Amino acid sequence: MKASAIEFRLRMAINAIIIVLGFLSPWIEFWSIGKRITLLEGLALEISRLGLLRFTVAAPVVTAVAALIAATGAILRVWGTAWLGPSTVINGQMLAGTVMADGPYRYVRNPLYLGVWCMVAALAFLMPVSGALFTMTLITVFLLRLILGEEAFLTARLGEPYLNYLHAVPRLIPRLRTTLRPTGNQPHWLRAIASELTPIGVFVAFAAFSWSYSDRLMEKVIMVSFGLSLVARAFMVGNREDSGA
């Protein structure tokens, strides 16, 4: 069940492929499976059909829910990256230094993966219904595989301190209170924000551009933020290599 080393190294590309397939949903044209209606519109129509809300009210409500999910993903990604460090987050290899028990890691063990899940869940609202179901199923399985792979790796490398951490902090459902004491690490907020422009862009797309009712415009905003994130991450990798040299 746990992910292999190659899956971890290619995790960003695999995530991207799953998301792109969800948007494209080629099975709709090839095999007539499902309809090309977005999850956002489909949910609003279903709420209207059930008589719970008028469509003109249901659509903004569903959009607001998507924006809230996107905001959660952006917060978790930036918060987690700030404490763990962008260079560690984007590294192609699993790293084991000391147990991270600061910032969000005091409340949940995998804030970054949880943030990815929330970001993709928000993106799913712009996908066809069948594409959203496909994407969320695959992304959930893949993230769980990555988590199990990392846990096995860190347990083997760090031993008892990490096992104690596993028992003290939940894997994916954050606890509201914690007895863990901060270890003294410092966050790097500006670098984290630059590194996590994609989830920030997803939130901005829903919060500021969804009211135009243009899926294409929202997708463009997300694509621009993704491109800027790639540039920022490449710059950080280049600086890290220069520092190492």
**pLDDT average, residue stretch 87-102:** 81
pLDDT at residue 239, rounded to an integer = 58
Domain boundaries, the chain: 5-187
Cβ neighbourhood burial of 49 (10 Å; 0-12, 13-18, 19+): exposed
pLDDT at residue 88, rounded to an integer = 84
pTM (predicted TM-score):
0.93
pLDDT at residue 237, rounded to an integer = 66
Cβ-contact 199, 119 below 8 angstroms? yes
pLDDT of residue 139 exceeding 90, the answer is yes
User: In the 3-class helix/strand/coil scheme, how is 40-52 assigned residue by residue?
Assistant: HHHHHHHHHHCCC
What letters, b where the CB count within 10 A reaches 16 and e where it falls short, cover 171-185? eeebeeeeeeeeeeb
User: What are the tens digits of pLDDT across the range 173-191?
Assistant: 998 888 787 777 889 899 9
Q: Does domain 5-187 have CATH number 1.20.120?
A: yes
- Contact partners, residue 67, CB within 8 Å, separation at least 6: 122, 203, 206, 207, 210
pLDDT of residue 226 exceeding 60, the answer is yes
User: What are the tens digits of pLDDT across the range 27-61?
Assistant: 999 998 889 999 999 999 999 999 999 999 999 99
Torsion of CA 106, 108, 112, 117, to 10 degrees: -160
- Report the chain's mean pLDDT, rounded to a whole number: 91
pLDDT of residue 240 exceeding 60, the answer is no
Cβ-contact 107, 23 below 8 angstroms? no
User: What are the tens digits of pLDDT across the range 197-213?
Assistant: 999 999 999 999 988 77
